[in-house]
Structure 1
């Protein structure tokens, strides 16, 4: 990896990581406050509408943002064409969602869903307005600006949600938080982005971009439906309260799994796309991404499973204890999410959106079994089934990506197994500490201290290349921050 590309990647990873902390991290902290003020049932109501919003957002984007990121040379007309298409589709989908709200309410047997759906549905149009500005920043690997926007919108919307919850507005505090966050995010992306729309639309540009993006749209829809289908199963066949417990477990899982996946995808996709015509360089860069990413992922996810109970008791209270077991199971499937994303990124980099779609169809057919198990036997069995399908999905993803860059699945496994075994050993000892009958406020610090110390000793002893890479990355980011701080001090003086 060349020095300029490496510096660009380091900056991208650093700011993308901070961006996720600013948005998801701050939102999570706000969620801890809201979880103490609201009931699991109120969280369950919001989860019932989640799949409809998620699917609609996928349709609005239609894979165009990825097509624009991948395209080597993007013209102004390309941006304008996608912008107007996104906006028109978002308005249409909002109207459909508005009209369908009574049926959604009847399906889940939840009267309040009619009003909630009609209000929260407006977020589709708000998000559509931000797609092109965000894409422009991603193409430039400019995550610094997005970080500023995320910080402003996350903190402000968090304050809105907490004030509404304290005022006794229940589920509407969650609605207010989401709407204000997306509105502010879109507003400031427009303020900072130099691109502005003009009245032009190209059929030729649409066809070119849609030819690649349409397959990503279909695969994205399948993935989105699958990721949210558990909300439908639990909400329809169980209760809004139990669904609230499940969503809280999912949100804890997202701290590491989804956020790390997002960071890796956002940075690696444009960076790997820029070297797609150099096979050897692409393979080595891809291999480094996998090894360093999975070192962090295994440590975080297995560690989270080990400390789940005291963590939840301390942060949101004992009324959320049923979510502990859900979280521990989800961690085992969640630890593979970044690996899925990295392998699928290669298919997009190589322009094989057809394979991307084919894989999504196969994996979702396989995933039908755990869903049926959830309907007839219970949520726990459904979640363990999802762990099994996650491993199968990895082998499918890696098989096809391996053929494109000459990086076989067995080589991938050899690269990541050392860090998996180390993280498993560390997590086991952390979990053993939880067997002692002591206060959660004492237990959690003991587990975390043991885990960090044990991992540091093992990695320093073994000196694995991926560990040294991560350590160097962290040192580079800290060094950059120190230089900036020193510069500001000298400027003031």
Structure 2
């Protein structure tokens, strides 16, 4: 299956999931208070922090391993059972402590509920790896869309039945179970249920590196809401989480689509001894042509987005959304470089690179903590800027020159600035305040989309081809 086809199905998957998430988030933000959503943010961050080693790099191993036989599949499944069981027991034992640390029993109850899905995670982990290895992205898209739809229906029904914040926790468990059932149906013939630890040492060695790398990558996302909730209050944890959700919406749609589709493609090129440098730069540029304009738009009109999507009570989230949108712009090129390092066998270097980023982040957050959630968001932005600068020191491992790196970054930067001219004007005249006239916002959004589309059409051959194909499809229908 071609990379373009992989990306198309993964994009559809993430786009539909994004729509479901967006609608449910808008509804939930109006039905539940910041304090209630703060409880959920703290509980979920605690769960993910404790269980971040759950995958242990098993999915990546199944995708990357050149000679994957039944013995290795069996070893991965067995190791996954051991890891998930141990983490489930730890989480179950710590649930009361987590709730008491914040003085809220509801946090404990949510931890108990969501921890149920950890027991079945070995099936999810192995099935995901096998499906992505075989590049069955169409099947994966159907599975995820069906699961997200179930989640939305379940949340709405349970909130209507007065389950409150527990509606989201229960719905997450139901979604997880449905994913596993559909995944096992898809990959049943390739799944090995045998319990065995033969050939486990290389898997464990690789898994330790990958899980440490993955946990470091996510540590800020998990720890910061917990710290904010403890020292500033659960409502501020919710404000931070809601501000983070705006740039995350864009990343949730496209970044997983690019990463999921591209990583198996990179590993295949490495197995065939083909160079990766031009491929990585090309994919990075194509991604940034979409990411940078949209993230810069979020930065410029975050007050209006927060107001119209979630309500005026979420005003504290506005600076966080703007700062984290800018931070995400600097993060994305680094993700492509790191993905290339892992695919080409330089995971040790990728790990050192992540460690350097987190040391910078910890120092920044420590110094900025007295300035509240806005100071924390600014520290994250500063850390990501420094990390992008540091990435110039490691690109030579992928045979990428600094000149090529900068040249591939320049076109997305120009398109991001030019396409956001309507929002720059909006920000200047309203001084980053809420524009209550919805028609003015609508005109600015339409202008942004038109300018962005025209720039992509004339400056990017890839997106020009996509737009022409889309035009032909629409013309054929009508």
- On whether the aligned pair clears a TM of 0.5, the verdict is yes
Instruction: Give the TM-score, by structure 2 length.
Output: 0.92
Write out per-residue CA displacement over residues 68-114 of structure 1, whole angstroms, 9 at most, x where no aligned residue.
21112211222221112112221221111111112112222323222
Which of 421, 433, 440 aligns to 1:443? It is 440
Structure 2 residue 57 is matched with structure 1 residue 63: yes
Structure 2 residue 252 is matched with structure 1 residue 267: no
Shift of 1:475: 4.7
User: What's the counterpart of residue 452 of structure 1?
Assistant: 449
In 1: Cα distance, 2:169 partner to 2:40 partner:
8
Write out per-residue CA displacement over residues 449-470 of structure 1, whole angstroms, 9 at most, x where no aligned residue.
111222234445xx33xx2212
Structure 2 residue 328 is matched with structure 1 residue 331: no
Structure 1 residue matching 2:269: 3-state secondary structure: coil
Which of 425, 428, 447 aligns to 1:432? It is 425
Structure 2 residue matching 1:168: 3-state secondary structure: coil
Structure 1 residue matching 2:105: 3-state secondary structure: coil
Distance change >3 Å, CA 177–CA 374, structure 1 → 2: farther
Instruction: Give the TM-score, by structure 1 length.
Output: 0.90
User: What's the counterpart of residue 277 of structure 2?
Assistant: 283
In 1: Cα distance, 2:471 partner to 2:205 partner:
42
Which of 39, 42, 48 aligns to 1:48? It is 42
Which runs of no fewer than 5 residues in structure 1 stay unpaired? 1-6, 487-493
Shift of 1:440: 4.7
Which of 264, 289, 294 aligns to 1:295? It is 289
Structure 2 residue 252 is matched with structure 1 residue 255: no
Which of 185, 188, 192 aligns to 1:197? It is 192
Q: 35-44 vs 106-115, which deviates more? A: 106-115
Aligned pair count reads 473
Write out per-residue CA displacement over residues 202-239 of structure 1, whole angstroms, 9 at most, x where no aligned residue.
332x2122222221111112222222221122111111
Shift of 1:396: 2.8
In 2: Cα distance, 1:145 partner to 1:252 partner:
28
Whether the aligned pair in 2 keeps the contact of 1:261 and 1:341 (CA below 8 Å) is: no
Which of 226, 233, 240 aligns to 1:239? It is 233
User: What's the counterpart of residue 315 of structure 1?
Assistant: 309
User: What's the counterpart of residue 421 of structure 1?
Assistant: 414
Structure 2 residue 127 is matched with structure 1 residue 133: yes
Structure 2 residue matching 1:61: 3-state secondary structure: coil
Spell out the pairing of 1:23-38 with structure 2 (5 A cutoff): 23-38=17-32
Whether the aligned pair in 2 keeps the contact of 1:253 and 1:334 (CA below 8 Å) is: yes
Structure 2 residue matching 1:256: 3-state secondary structure: helix
Distance change >3 Å, CA 354–CA 482, structure 1 → 2: farther
Distance change >3 Å, CA 207–CA 479, structure 1 → 2: farther
Distance change >3 Å, CA 189–CA 481, structure 1 → 2: farther
Whether the aligned pair in 2 keeps the contact of 1:395 and 1:409 (CA below 8 Å) is: no
Whether the aligned pair in 2 keeps the contact of 1:51 and 1:229 (CA below 8 Å) is: yes
Whether the aligned pair in 2 keeps the contact of 1:10 and 1:477 (CA below 8 Å) is: no
In 2: Cα distance, 1:451 partner to 1:355 partner:
39
Structure 2 residue matching 1:73: 3-state secondary structure: coil
Whether the aligned pair in 1 keeps the contact of 2:341 and 2:398 (CA below 8 Å) is: no
Distance change >3 Å, CA 478–CA 51, structure 1 → 2: farther
In 2: Cα distance, 1:253 partner to 1:326 partner:
10
In 1: Cα distance, 2:207 partner to 2:470 partner:
34
Shift of 1:56: 4.1
In 2: Cα distance, 1:368 partner to 1:384 partner:
12
Which of 125, 130, 149 aligns to 1:155? It is 149
Shift of 1:168: 2.5
In 1: Cα distance, 2:252 partner to 2:316 partner:
22
Shift of 1:344: 0.6
Shift of 1:191: 1.6
Write out per-residue CA displacement over residues 408-464 of structure 1, whole angstroms, 9 at most, x where no aligned residue.
23421221123213312332431322535853522331121111222234445xx33
In 1: Cα distance, 2:126 partner to 2:474 partner:
30
